[in-house]
C-alpha cells in the first residue's frame, strides 16, 4: 500500500502543472517584490540599490501605523461578522425541513456574484451623509443623524470593513454548507439519541468536525482584512487624508500614483510577512485545539 | 408546553431575521437594475433607491453602441471557461498528490502554493505582465487565462485540501486491492468524491475571472479583439464626469450571466452533495 | 473524401490568412491611449479621427480608452514594455518615462510638421520639458481654476460677492442658515482639494502649490501655514457640503446646477456646463483674499495653469515616426474641435479659427487674461509625482475638517523632506 501511494512518477505528474504555473506567475513575482523592495525605483527607470531605506522610511511614516491598525480592524470586523452569520445561516439551511431553503441558499450567495464595483456603489449610496438610506432610517426612528459614515476619520474603516464582510459572507456560507453536507448523518442521529437539542448538536458536532473548513474561512477572513483594497479604492480613496489607508493601498498609491515603486513593494513585502505570521499563528492555535480535543475524546470514550 | 411555545416564538423571530437578511442580500440586484435606468441626477440627488422616475432606456443603447457587447461577452466567457478548466485540472491533481499520496516535503509544497493567498494582485501586477510578455503570450487569450489560473490555484488547492482530508483512507486501499492503478483510482474514485468542492471552486473561479478588472486592463486593454466585459466601464468614466447610468447598464449586462452561472451550478452543487453524502453515509 | 475536405479547409484557411495579411499591409494600425468618455473628450477625438482619415488614409487608429487611475495603467504598461504607439500624458508620467527612454523626443517632428510654428508664444512653455526638449504635443492652452458662483442665490439672501475671507465667512453663515451649501466641492478627488488650497495659498504666495512642487518654497513657510489655517477655519465654519471627502464630481456639480449650492470650484472647462444649467445666474469671481488690497493685487494671480502634457509617442513603436506625425496632427485637430465644437478658445495652437458665440463667462475670462501676471498648476501639471499624490491627500484631510493645521504641515513637511 505504501508503495502504491508513493509512486514517484505519479507524484511528479500530479504536482508539476500546479508547481510550474504557480512558480512562473506567482512565486517569481513574489520574489521580485522582495527583491525590488530594496531599491529606489519608479517602476520603469534605473533602479538604485538603497538597502533597507524603503523599510526604514515606511516604518517611520505615520501612515504605516494607520494602515496596520486599519488592517487589524478590518480583519476583526470581517472575521467576526462572516463566521457568525455564515455559521448560523449554513446551519439553518442545512435543516432538511426548513421551508424555502433553496431560495435562502441562493439569496445569501447573491452578493458574492455581483461585482465589487456594484456592491461598493450601492453601499456608498446607502451610507451617504445627506441622501443615504441609513441616515434616513435613523431619522425615521427619531435620531437626528447626519453622520458621514464614509467620511469619518476614525469610523470610516469600520464602514468599509462591513461592506466587505457583507459581500463575502455568502462565500463562507457556501463553504460551511458544503462542509455540513459532507458530515455523515450518523453523528446527528447519535446526538439525537443522546437527547441533545439541535443547537447543542451543532455546537458539539458540526463546528468541531468542520475544523478544516473553519481554519480555511478564518484564514481567508483575516488575510482578506489585512490586504483589503478594492472597497477602499472605490469608496473612500484612502481618505479622508490617510485615514482609511491599508498596506495594499499604500502599496498601490506609492507604486502607481506617486511613482515610488520600490517603496510600494516594501509595503507589499511587509504585507506578505504579516499574512504568513497569521497563517503560522492559526496553524499553532488549531493544532493545539486538535490535540486537546483528541485527548478529551480519548478520555471520554471507554 | 410553556417551553415549546417559547421556542416557537424564538423560531419565528429567527425566521424573520433570516428573511430580512435574505431580502437585504437580494436588494442589490433590483437596485442595480433601477440604477442602470436612471440619470445622474436621479442616482445622486433625487432618487437613489427607488424605481426610476423616468426610465432611461438610452443607457442600454449607450452601452450597446459604445463597445462591442457580444464580442466582450464572448471573450469573458472563453477566458472564464479556460481559467476554470486550467485551475481545476491543476489543483485537483496537485491536491490529490499532497493529501493522499505519501512523499517527503508534501507539507512544505502545500505551504508553498498557499503563499499565493496573501499577495494582493496589485503588488504582482507588473512582474506578471512582464512574465506574460517574456513568454510571448501578449495578444492571446492565454495572457489572461494562465495568470488567472495561477493566482486562483492557491485558493483552489486549499478548498480541495479540506475535502480530500474528509475521504476515508479505505477508499484507496479498496481500489488498490481491486487492482486499479493509482491513476484509475484518482480518476474513477477520488475525483468524483470531491465534486461538491469542484463545483464550489468552479463557481468561485469563474466569478473571479468574470469580474476581474486590474489585470485585464493591463493585459488585454490594448487588444480590441480580446477585451473582457469589466473593461466596458472605461467607456463611461471621464476625467471629470461619469455617465453612471450607462455604467450601471454595463454592469447589469455583465452581471446577468454571472448570476445564471451561479444558479445553474448551485443546483449542481446540491445534487453533487447529495451523491457525496450517500457515498460517505 | 475526408482527406479532401481537410485539404480544402486548409486551403481556404490559408487564403483567408493571406487575405488578412494583405489588407493589414496597406493599412498601418496605431494604438492610441486616450480619454474617451464624455463630450469634452469624445467630440475632439471623433473629429480628429474623421480628419485623419482624409489626411492619412493609410493609418487606422485603435483606441484604448484611458482608465481614470492617475496614470497607473500607463505605468504598468511601460514597466512591461507594452506601451501603445501614442498616448496622452501629463507632466508626472512624462518626467518618469523620460528617465526610462519610453517617451520619444519630438523636436524634429515638431519642426517638420509645422507644429512648432503654430504654437502660441504664451503656450511655448507647455511644449518644452525642463531639459529643453519636446516630448508631447500639447493641445490644451492655459487653464484656470475658477470659483463659480450662482449670483441669484447671493442676491436672494442679500449677500454681496465676497472679496475677503471674512466676507466669505459671513456668506457661509447666511447660506448655512438658509440650508444652502455655500461651496460644493468634489473632495473625493485630490486634485480639486489641492486647487482649493491653491486658490488660498496664492493669496499669500503667488507661487502657490507650484512653488512647493519645484522646491522654491516650503510648506512650513508662513504663507503656506496661513493658507492652511484659513482653509481649516472656513471648513469649520461650514464652507463645504456634508460628506465633502466622499462627494464625487457629478454629485457636487449637481448641487451647483440645481441651485442647492451657491459656489462651485472647477476648471474653466466647466463654463459651458455652468452656462447651460444656470444661464446668466452663473458667473466666475476673483478669489477672495485676506484684505481689500490683497484682493485687488491678487486679481492678476490665478491658480491652475497649463502644463507640459499632450499626445506622446512610444519610441519603441515600429512606426514611431509616423506615430509622431499622427500625434501632432491629432493635437492640432483637438485644438480646432475645442474652439469650434466645444466653445473653448484656450488652446495651445493658433489654428486660424475663431468662435464668435462664446458664453459670457468665457468672454470675461479671455478679457482678463492679458492682465494676469502668474498662474500655478493643476496637480497634473506638477512634475514630482510624490508631491502631487501627497498634496492631494493632505489637502483632502484638511477639508474633511478632522485634521489640524499642525498635522497638515508636519505630514506634508515629512513627505517633502524625503523628496
Measured distance CA(B248)–CA(B235) in Å, rounded? 12
Identify the weakest region by mean pLDDT among A76-85, C63-72, C385-394. C63-72
Region at C241 (left for phi over 0; alpha for psi -120 to 50; beta for the rest): beta
Which residues pair with residue C149 across a beta bridge? C263, C283
Three-state DSSP at C64 gives strand
Measured distance CA(C375)–CA(C304) in Å, rounded? 6
CA-based nearest distance A43→chain C, Å? 6
Facing residue for C389 by CB, picked from A128, A151, A253: A253
Q: Does B130 touch chain C (CB under 8 A)?
A: yes
Average pLDDT (C234-262) is 93
Which run of H or E residues covers position C53?
Answer: helix C39-55
CA atoms within 13 A on the CB side of C294: 15
Task: Please judge whether B118 and A279 are an interchain contact, meaning their C-beta atoms are less than 8 angstroms apart.
Answer: yes
Facing residue for C73 by CB, picked from B41, B221, B238: B221
Facing residue for C96 by CB, picked from A42, A57, A252: A42
Facing residue for A182 by CB, picked from B211, B248, B276: B276
What pLDDT sits at residue C6? 43
Question: Taking CA atoms, what residue in A is nearest to B135?
Answer: A24
Q: Does C65 touch chain B (CB under 8 A)?
A: yes
Using a CB-CB cut-off of 8 Å, the residues of chain B touching A120 are: none
Is the pLDDT at C23 greater than 70, yes or no?
Answer: no
Mean pLDDT of chain C: 90
- Most B-contacting residue of C31, C32, C37 (CB-CB within 10 A), to test interface: C37
Three-state DSSP at C240 gives strand
List the 217-256 stretch of C: residues with Cβ below 8 A of B. 248-251, 253-255
Task: Please judge whether A259 and C400 are an interchain contact, meaning their C-beta atoms are less than 8 angstroms apart.
Answer: no
Q: Does B236 touch chain C (CB under 8 A)?
A: yes
Using a CB-CB cut-off of 8 Å, the residues of chain C touching A61 are: 414
CA-based nearest distance C303→chain A, Å? 22
Is the pLDDT at C24 greater than 60, yes or no?
Answer: no
Task: Please judge whether B239 and C37 are an interchain contact, meaning their C-beta atoms are less than 8 angstroms apart.
Answer: yes
CA quadruple A249, A253, A256, A261: dihedral, nearest 10: -90
Task: Please judge whether B161 and A6 are an interchain contact, meaning their C-beta atoms are less than 8 angstroms apart.
Answer: no
Measured distance CA(B278)–CA(A185) in Å, rounded? 10
Per DSSP, chain A holds a count of helices (H) and strands (E) of 16, 2
Band (A296; pLDDT cuts 50, 70, 90):
low
Using a CB-CB cut-off of 8 Å, the residues of chain A touching C92 are: 259
Three-state DSSP at A271 gives helix
Band (C4; pLDDT cuts 50, 70, 90):
very low
Q: How many CB atoms lie within 10 A of CB A14?
A: 24
Q: Which residue ranges does chain A devote to CATH 1.10.3720.10? A: 37-300
CA A238 vs. chain centroid, Å, equals: 19
Facing residue for C188 by CB, picked from A46, A153, A237: A237
Using a CB-CB cut-off of 8 Å, the residues of chain A touching B197 are: 178
Band (A290; pLDDT cuts 50, 70, 90):
low
Encode pLDDT of C286-304 as tens digits: 999 999 999 999 999 999 9
What pLDDT sits at residue C204? 96
Measured distance CA(A119)–CA(B231) in Å, rounded? 17
Average pLDDT (A258-274) is 92
Cell numbers for B2, please give them.
Answer: 410553556
Region at A100 (left for phi over 0; alpha for psi -120 to 50; beta for the rest): left
Instruction: Write down the CATH number for the domain with range C145-305+362-417.
Output: 3.40.190.10
DSSP A26-95: IIHHHHHHHHHTTEE--SSS--EE-TTHHHHHHHHSHHHHHHHHHHHHHHHHHHHHHHHHHHHHHHHHH-
Encode pLDDT of C357-366 as tens digits: 889 999 999 9
Q: Does C253 touch chain A (CB under 8 A)?
A: no
Measured distance CA(B259)–CA(A113) in Å, rounded? 6
Q: Does C79 touch chain A (CB under 8 A)?
A: yes
Measured distance CA(A120)–CA(B233) in Å, rounded? 15
What pLDDT sits at residue B256? 85
Task: Please judge whether A148 and C246 are an interchain contact, meaning their C-beta atoms are less than 8 angstroms apart.
Answer: yes
Encode pLDDT of C173-203 as tens digits: 999 999 999 999 999 999 999 999 999 999 9
Average pLDDT (A149-160) is 93
Chains B & C: contacts with CB separation below 8 Å: 87
What pLDDT sits at residue A289? 59
Task: Please judge whether C75 and A150 are an interchain contact, meaning their C-beta atoms are less than 8 angstroms apart.
Answer: no
Task: Please judge whether A46 and C96 are an interchain contact, meaning their C-beta atoms are less than 8 angstroms apart.
Answer: no
Interface predicted TM-score of the whole assembly (ipTM), two decimals: 0.87
Encode pLDDT of C206-227 as tens digits: 999 999 999 999 999 999 999 9
DSSP C137-194: B--B----EEEEEEHHHHHHTT-PPP-BHHHHHHHHHHHHHTT-EEEE--TTSHHHHH
Which run of H or E residues covers position B94?
Answer: helix B69-99
Mean pLDDT by 10 residues, chain B (281 residues): 57 90 92 90 83 89 87 93 96 93 88 86 89 90 95 91 80 84 87 84 90 90 88 83 87 87 75 51 33
What pLDDT sits at residue B11? 83
Of the candidates A238, B21, A40, the residue with the CA atom closest to the CA atom of residue C393: A238
Facing residue for B44 by CB, picked from C31, C36, C251: C251
Measured distance CA(B158)–CA(C136) in Å, rounded? 50
Q: Does C68 touch chain B (CB under 8 A)?
A: yes
Task: Please judge whether A43 and C92 are an interchain contact, meaning their C-beta atoms are less than 8 angstroms apart.
Answer: no
Residue carrying C-alpha cell 472656513:
C234
Question: Taking CA atoms, what residue in B is nearest to C61?
Answer: B224
DSSP A185-236: HHHHHHHHHTT--HHHHIIIIIHHHTHHHHHHHHHHHHHHHHT--HHHHHHT
Which residues pair with residue C347 across a beta bridge? C140
CA-based nearest distance C173→chain B, Å? 24
Report how far apart the first and last C-alpha atoms of chain A are (Å, whole number).
31
Contacts of C365 (CB under 8 A, 6+ apart): C144, C146, C268, C271, C284, C346
Task: Please judge whether A110 and B276 are an interchain contact, meaning their C-beta atoms are less than 8 angstroms apart.
Answer: no
CA quadruple A266, A269, A275, A280: dihedral, nearest 10: -120
Task: Please judge whether B129 and C62 are an interchain contact, meaning their C-beta atoms are less than 8 angstroms apart.
Answer: no
Question: Taking CA atoms, what residue in A is nearest to B109?
Answer: A19
Facing residue for A257 by CB, picked from C70, C189, C245: C70
Task: Please judge whether B45 and C66 are an interchain contact, meaning their C-beta atoms are less than 8 angstroms apart.
Answer: no
Of the candidates C397, C416, C401, the residue with the CA atom closest to the CA atom of residue C221: C416
Residues of A with CB under 8 A from a CB of C: 42-46, 57, 61-62, 124, 128-130, 146, 148, 150-153, 235-243, 252-253, 255-261
Three-state DSSP at B251 gives helix
Using a CB-CB cut-off of 8 Å, the residues of chain A touching B18 are: 89, 92, 104
Domains of chain B: 68-235 (1.10.3720.10)
**Burial grade of B110 (CB within 10 A; 0-12, 13-18, 19 or more):** middle
Ordered by start, the domain boundaries in chain C are 29-140+307-357, 145-305+362-417
Using a CB-CB cut-off of 8 Å, the residues of chain A touching B122 are: 229, 248, 251-252, 255-256
Measured distance CA(A270)–CA(C64) in Å, rounded? 35
Cell numbers for C189, please give them.
Answer: 478627488
Task: Please judge whether A170 and B25 are an interchain contact, meaning their C-beta atoms are less than 8 angstroms apart.
Answer: yes
Encode pLDDT of A208-244 as tens digits: 778 878 888 898 898 888 888 989 998 999 989 999 9
Instruction: Write down the CATH number for the domain with range A37-300.
Output: 1.10.3720.10
> Helices A211-226 and A156-182 sit at what angle, rounded to 10 degrees?
160
Kindly state which CATH superfamily the domain C29-140+307-357 is placed in.
Periplasmic binding protein-like II (3.40.190.10)
Q: Rounded to a whole number, what is the largest CA-CA distance in chain A?
A: 73
Average pLDDT (C334-339) is 94
Q: How many CB atoms lie within 10 A of CB C413?
A: 14
Task: Please judge whether A129 and C76 are an interchain contact, meaning their C-beta atoms are less than 8 angstroms apart.
Answer: no
Task: Please judge whether A242 and C242 are an interchain contact, meaning their C-beta atoms are less than 8 angstroms apart.
Answer: no
Is the pLDDT at A294 greater than 70, yes or no?
Answer: no
Facing residue for A257 by CB, picked from C72, C394, C418: C72
Using a CB-CB cut-off of 8 Å, the residues of chain A touching B196 are: 178, 181-182
Measured distance CA(C284)–CA(C264) in Å, rounded? 9
Facing residue for A129 by CB, picked from C188, C242, C388: C242
Amino acid at each position: 500500500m505504501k508503495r502504491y501511494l508513493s509512486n514517484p512518477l505519479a507524484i511528479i505528474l500530479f504536482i508539476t502543472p500546479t508547481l510550474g504555473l504557480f512558480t512562473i506567475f506567482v512565486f517569481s513575482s513574489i520574489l521580485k517584490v522582495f527583491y525590488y523592495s530594496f531599491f529606489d525605483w519608479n517602476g520603469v527607470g534605473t533602479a538604485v540599490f538603497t538597502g533597507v531605506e524603503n523599510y526604514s522610511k515606511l516604518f517611520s511614516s505615520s501612515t504605516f501605523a494607520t494602515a496596520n491598525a486599519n488592517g487589524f480592524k478590518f480583519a476583526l470586523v470581517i472575521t467576526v461578522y462572516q463566521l457568525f452569520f455564515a455559521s448560523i445561516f449554513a446551519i439553518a439551511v442545512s435543516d432538511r425541513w426548513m421551508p424555502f431553503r433553496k431560495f435562502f441558499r441562493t439569496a445569501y450567495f447573491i452578493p458574492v456574484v455581483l461585482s465589487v464595483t456594484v456592491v461598493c456603489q450601492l453601499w456608498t449610496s446607502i451610507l451617504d451623509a445627506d441622501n443615504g438610506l441609513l441616515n434616513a432610517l435613523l431619522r425615521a426612528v427619531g435620531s437626528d443623524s447626519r453622520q458621514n459614515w464614509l467620511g469619518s476619520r476614525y469610523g470610516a474603516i469600520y464602514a468599509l470593513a462591513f461592506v466587505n464582510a457583507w459581500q463575502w459572507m455568502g462565500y463562507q456560507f457556501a463553504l460551511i454548507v458544503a462542509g455540513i453536507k459532507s458530515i455523515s448523518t450518523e453523528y446527528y442521529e447519535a446526538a439525537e439519541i443522546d437527547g441533545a437539542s439541535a443547537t447543542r448538536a451543532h455546537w458539539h458536532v458540526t463546528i468541531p468536525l468542520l475544523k478544516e473548513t473553519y481554519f480555511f474561512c478564518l484564514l481567508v477572513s483575516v488575510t482578506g482584512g489585512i490586504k483589503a483594497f478594492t472597497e477602499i479604492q472605490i469608496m473612500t480613496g484612502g481618505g479622508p487624508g490617510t485615514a482609511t489607508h491599508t498596506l495594499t493601498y499604500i502599496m498601490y498609491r506609492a507604486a502607481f500614483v506617486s511613482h515610488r515603486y520600490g517603496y510600494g513593494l516594501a509595503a507589499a513585502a511587509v504585507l506578505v510577512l504579516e499574512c504568513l505570521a497569521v497563517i503560522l499563528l492559526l496553524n499553532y492555535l488549531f493544532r493545539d485545539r486538535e490535540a486537546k480535543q483528541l485527548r478529551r475524546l480519548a478520555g471520554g470514550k471507554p | 408546553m410553556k417551553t415549546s411555545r417559547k421556542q416557537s416564538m424564538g423560531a419565528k423571530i429567527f425566521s424573520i431575521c433570516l428573511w430580512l437578511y435574505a431580502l437585504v442580500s437580494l436588494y442589490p440586484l433590483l437596485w442595480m437594475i433601477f440604477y442602470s435606468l436612471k440619470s445622474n441626477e436621479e442616482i445622486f440627488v433625487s432618487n437613489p433607491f427607488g424605481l426610476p422616475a423616468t426610465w432611461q432606456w438610452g443607457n442600454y443603447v449607450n452601452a450597446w453602441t459604445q463597445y462591442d457587447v457580444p464580442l466582450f461577452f464572448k471573450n469573458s466567457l472563453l477566458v472564464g471557461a479556460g481559467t476554470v478548466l486550467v485551475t481545476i485540472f491543476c489543483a485537483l491533481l496537485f491536491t490529490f498528490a499532497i493529501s493522499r499520496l505519501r512523499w517527503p516535503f508534501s507539507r512544505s509544497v502545500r505551504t508553498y502554493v498557499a503563499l499565493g493567498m496573501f499577495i494582493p494582485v496589485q503588488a504582482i501586477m507588473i512582474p506578471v505582465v512582464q512574465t506574460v510578455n517574456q513568454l510571448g503570450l501578449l495578444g492571446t487569450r492565454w495572457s489572461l487565462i494562465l495568470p488567472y489560473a495561477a493566482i486562483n490555484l492557491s485558493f483552489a488547492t486549499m478548498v480541495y485540501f479540506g475535502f480530500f482530508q474528509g475521504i476515508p483512507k479505505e477508499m484507496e486501499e479498496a481500489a488498490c486491492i481491486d487492482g486499479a492503478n493509482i491513476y484509475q483510482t484518482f480518476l474513477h474514485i477520488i475525483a468524483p468524491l470531491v465534486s461538491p468542492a469542484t463545483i464550489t471552486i468552479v463557481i468561485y473561479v469563474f466569478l473571479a475571472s468574470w469580474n476581474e478588472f486590474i489585470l485585464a486592463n493591463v493585459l488585454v486593454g490594448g487588444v480590441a479583439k480580446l477585451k473582457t466585459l469589466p473593461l466596458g466601464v472605461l467607456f463611461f468614466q471621464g476625467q471629470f464626469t461619469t455617465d453612471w447610468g450607462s455604467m450601471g447598464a454595463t454592469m447589469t449586462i455583465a452581471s446577468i450571466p454571472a448570476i445564471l452561472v451561479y444558479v445553474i451550478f448551485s443546483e449542481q452543487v446540491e445534487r453533487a452533495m447529495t451523491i457525496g453524502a450517500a457515498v460517505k453515509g | 473524401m475526408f482527406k479532401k475536405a481537410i485539404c480544402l479547409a486548409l486551403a481556404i484557411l490559408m487564403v483567408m490568412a493571406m487575405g488578412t495579411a494583405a489588407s493589414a499591409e496597406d493599412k498601418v494600425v496605431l494604438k492610441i491611449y486616450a480619454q474617451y468618455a464624455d463630450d469634452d473628450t469624445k467630440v475632439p477625438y471623433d473629429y480628429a479621427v474623421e480628419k485623419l482619415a482624409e489626411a492619412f488614409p493609410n493609418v487606422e487608429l485603435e483606441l484604448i480608452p484611458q482608465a481614470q487611475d492617475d496614470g497607473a495603467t500607463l505605468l504598468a504598461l511601460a514597466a512591461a514594455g507594452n506601451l501603445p504607439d501614442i498616448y496622452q500624458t501629463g507632466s508626472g508620467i512624462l518626467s518618469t518615462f523620460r528617465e526610462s527612454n519610453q517617451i520619444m523626443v519630438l523636436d524634429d517632428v515638431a519642426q517638420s510638421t509645422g507644429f512648432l510654428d503654430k504654437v502660441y508664444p504664451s503656450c511655448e512653455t507647455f511644449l518644452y520639458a525642463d531639459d529643453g526638449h519636446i516630448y508631447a504635443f500639447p493641445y490644451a492652452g492655459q487653464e484656470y481654476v475658477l470659483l463659480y458662483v450662482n449670483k441669484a442665490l447671493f442676491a436672494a439672501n442679500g449677500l454681496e460677492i465676497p472679496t475677503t475671507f471674512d466676507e466669505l465667512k459671513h456668506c457661509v453663515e447666511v447660506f448655512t442658515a438658509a440650508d444652502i451649501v455655500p461651496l460644493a466641492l468634489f473632495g473625493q478627488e485630490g486634485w480639486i482639494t489641492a486647487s482649493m488650497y491653491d486658490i488660498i495659498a496664492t493669496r499669500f504666495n503667488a507661487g502657490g502649490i507650484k512653488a512647493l512642487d519645484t522646491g522654491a518654497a516650503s510648506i512650513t513657510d508662513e504663507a503656506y501655514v496661513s493658507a492652511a489655517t484659513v482653509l481649516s477655519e472656513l471648513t469649520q465654519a461650514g464652507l463645504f457640503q456634508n460628506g465633502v471627502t466622499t462627494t464625487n464630481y457629478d454629485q457636487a456639480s449637481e448641487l451647483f446646477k440645481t441651485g442647492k449650492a451657491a459656489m462651485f470650484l472647477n476648471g474653466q472647462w466647466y463654463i459651458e456646463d455652468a452656462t447651460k444649467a444656470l444661464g446668466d445666474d452663473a458667473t466666475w469671481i476673483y478669489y477672495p483674499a485676506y484684505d481689500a488690497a490683497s484682493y485687488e493685487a491678487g486679481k492678476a494671480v490665478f491658480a491652475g495653469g497649463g502644463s507640459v502634457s499632450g499626445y506622446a509617442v512610444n519610441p519603441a513603436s515600429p512606426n514611431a515616426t509616423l506615430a509622431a506625425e499622427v500625434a501632432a496632427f491629432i493635437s492640432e485637430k483637438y485644438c480646432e474641435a475645442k474652439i469650434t465644437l466645444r466653445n473653448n478658445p484656450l488652446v495651445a495652437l493658433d489654428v486660424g479659427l475663431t468662435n464668435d458665440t462664446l458664453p459670457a463667462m468665457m468672454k470675461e475670462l479671455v478679457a482678463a487674461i492679458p492682465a494676469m501676471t502668474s498662474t500655478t498648476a493643476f496637480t497634473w501639471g506638477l512634475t514630482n509625482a510624490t508631491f502631487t499624490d501627497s498634496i492631494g491627500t493632505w489637502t483632502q484631510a484638511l477639508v474633511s475638517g478632522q485634521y489640524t493645521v499642525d498635522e497638515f504641515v508636519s505630514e506634508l513637511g515629512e513627505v517633502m523632506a524625503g523628496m
